[in-house]
Structure 1
């Protein structure tokens, strides 16, 4: 009896320790799509594109230099390695949360950051949402009227690469990669560390795969929507055909106020909705999806993939009369 009592008394501590370890390992991030969205007064598309293309060009230059030194000609391994390094912000690994921190701190990108104590997630407990306490919240930005978190750019680049590697390098399928994405949201990228499951994260992952694929193989775009490759090889060098425009990928399904969240418990869901209601927004501004028309466009865009990317309320959104 004493041993069992000791085991049960230690259980909360063990769970919290494990959760902290997972959070610190995965470095996920979250954002509040409601509290600060109406404070955004400037579109961030141009500024974000400038920063992403700066990194893009840096990565291409690095690949060309590495190929010249090794005398290998156009080497895809060196290309992907140098681009991952460049998008990581000169860090050793392409980690989404590093990108979130860098973009959130970039004064050239118009954004709003809501701190956890002021956010709609403020009542989620430490043990249910450890990453909300240790990692804080990332910034939100406006891209063509879509209010997204910069965490989605981390998912686009980092988890998009994970999908690409699993499919194009390791020989897996897109369905398998998307199932892996769902599992990570249901565990260490979502429910375990924040108490939240983000369908918008899955949408960003999917579009990130499309981006990495479009570098050289646009004809294999799963949506058949990419017209030309970003790069081509000429005289043993990678040359850029066209710049990266993040608006080619972002849509209303990247916005968690449209592509609704799921929660680890009904209590968390009720608490978050209570805090959204406390913002005293209009009913249309506080009920997900807040822009049903953008969900309808997303359903058309993603077609058969909609069921794995969109929350049911977004999939079946009906525009108000």
Structure 2
């Protein structure tokens, strides 16, 4: 292979790594008002499900073949240039209220591994869905990684622990720990909810699609409130940094935010998790899979039941899907 081609090839791989390793900052500017965009995201997801219904006919997807229906949905909504299609839509949609930071002005300043690259990147934007602050990258995890980890879930005879072990393993390696050096349990939560979504697409007691008159037909609307809760919020479901040095730098940046709040005589807290109550509710909700989807710090705080949770942050109305 010629040198020029090799350079292009490695740049291609590097671009893919960068895009797949996006981070989000849900702590800086946490208490600045942000409009909730749930209805906008609900409409878009239902539009995509209606598109799926139309495409099943043109693609000749046999009614009753749930596997091909799942594959077709993913094919229609797969990542574009390594960025989730719904994530890209959210970033480009002017009607979606969002907050955007670059790494140099965030809690990741000087912290992310491979800093010469990642510390110059724009982070995933923060949006509000179902009352929760979440990164747009979570939609990519829900659709793409949810599809990826549905396979081990199905092949293991629907053993969720098998799928979630692979999911968390990816966060500790190529999706986080080995790329930016950040392990996101909120990403793992979005992966988990994505697995549940793909199962509910055409199976289970309350699927989105059923066979009607020989055709796949959407029989109920999608609601993000059925999936998004405080577990998607990295200000509550805390990140872990892969190295002790990075963890110390991360905590130092959080301490700066705390000091600024105290100087301004504000009662805001930035130390993760910002809400013990939210972690307690999450642990109760996800007890059977907590080690895969809830950060050690959130679980620790929930078990301790310590006081001092922030009045600004509650677990929210998201029910979660068990």
Could you state the TM-score of these two structures normalised by the residue count of structure 1? Answer: 0.81
Partners of 2:255 and 2:137 lie apart in 1 by 24
Residue 297 of structure 2 corresponds to residue 313 of structure 1: yes
Q: How does 1:130-169 map onto structure 2 within 5 Å?
A: 130-131=117-118, 133=120, 136-168=122-154
Residue 29 of structure 2 corresponds to residue 36 of structure 1: yes
Deviation at 1:155, TM superposition (A): 0.8
Deviation at 1:218, TM superposition (A): 2.7
Partner residue, 1:127: 114
Between 1:20-29 and 1:194-203, the stretch displaced more is: 20-29
Partner residue, 2:230: 252
Deviation at 1:113, TM superposition (A): 1.0
What secondary structure sits across from 1:188 in the alignment? coil
CA shift in 2, pair 1:154/1:306, >3 Å: same
Deviation at 1:123, TM superposition (A): 0.8
What secondary structure sits across from 1:298 in the alignment? helix
Deviation at 1:185, TM superposition (A): 0.8
Contact 2:28 2:107 in 1 (8 A): yes
Partner residue, 1:57: 50
Deviation at 1:215, TM superposition (A): 1.4
Partner residue, 1:229: 207
Question: What number of residue pairs does the alignment pair up?
Answer: 290
Could you state the TM-score of these two structures normalised by the residue count of structure 2? Answer: 0.81
CA shift in 2, pair 1:239/1:153, >3 Å: same
Residue 96 of structure 2 corresponds to residue 109 of structure 1: yes
Deviation at 1:53, TM superposition (A): 1.5
Deviation by residue 1:24-48 (Cα, 9 ceiling, x = unmatched): 2572321111113333421111111
Residue 288 of structure 2 corresponds to residue 295 of structure 1: no
**Of 175, 186, 202, which aligns to 1:189?**
175
Deviation by residue 1:194-214 (Cα, 9 ceiling, x = unmatched): 110011111111111111111
Between 1:139-148 and 1:205-214, the stretch displaced more is: 139-148
Partners of 1:50 and 1:162 lie apart in 2 by 24
| Unpaired runs of at least 5, structure 1 | 1-16, 220-227
CA shift in 2, pair 1:292/1:284, >3 Å: farther
Between 1:276-285 and 1:264-273, the stretch displaced more is: 276-285
Partners of 2:213 and 2:298 lie apart in 1 by 48
CA shift in 2, pair 1:300/1:313, >3 Å: same
Partners of 1:129 and 1:200 lie apart in 2 by 25
Residue 245 of structure 2 corresponds to residue 267 of structure 1: yes
CA shift in 2, pair 1:126/1:79, >3 Å: same
Contact 2:46 2:222 in 1 (8 A): yes
Residue 198 of structure 2 corresponds to residue 212 of structure 1: yes
Contact 2:63 2:216 in 1 (8 A): no
Deviation at 1:174, TM superposition (A): 2.1
Contact 1:40 1:112 in 2 (8 A): no
CA shift in 2, pair 1:23/1:190, >3 Å: farther
CA-atom RMSD, angstroms?
2.7
CA shift in 2, pair 1:126/1:210, >3 Å: closer
Partner residue, 1:14: none
Contact 1:181 1:202 in 2 (8 A): yes
**Of 55, 73, 83, which aligns to 2:73?**
83
Deviation at 1:277, TM superposition (A): 2.5
Structure 1 consecutive aligned stretches of length 4 or more whose deviation exceeds 6 Å? 17-20
Deviation by residue 1:244-270 (Cα, 9 ceiling, x = unmatched): 111111111111111111102122112
Partners of 1:264 and 1:303 lie apart in 2 by 25
Deviation at 1:310, TM superposition (A): 0.9
Partner residue, 2:314: none
Partners of 1:109 and 1:259 lie apart in 2 by 23
